[in-house]
Amino acid sequence: ASRVLSETFSFMQTEGIKNIYLLTAKEINFDIECTVDGTHPNDIGMMRYANAYEKIIRNILKNP
């Protein structure tokens, strides 16, 4: 995550805002093989996004 995004997320948490979540590139398991140009996701990248979102949404909903 960018510095600005990380700082904003931290600020919101310290302000007591609840139910906000941040997926990092590490949690998404995003790497150069997941992109068409180093930035934009290809099919593999989109699958990794989907898997990461499913994992965090299941955790939020307490659904195994």
Q: Are 21 and 9 in contact (CB under 8 A)?
A: no
Give the length of the chain: 64
pLDDT of 1 > 70? The answer is no
CA dist list (Å): 52 to 11, 23, 25? 24, 8, 10
Per the listing, tokens 């510095």 go with: 3
pTM above threshold 0.95? no
In the chain, which residue ranges form alpha helices assigned H by DSSP? 3-14, 25-28, 43-61
Res. 26 pLDDT band, cuts 50 70 90: confident
Q: Render pLDDT for 7-17 as a digit per residue (tens, 0 to 9).
A: 999 999 999 99
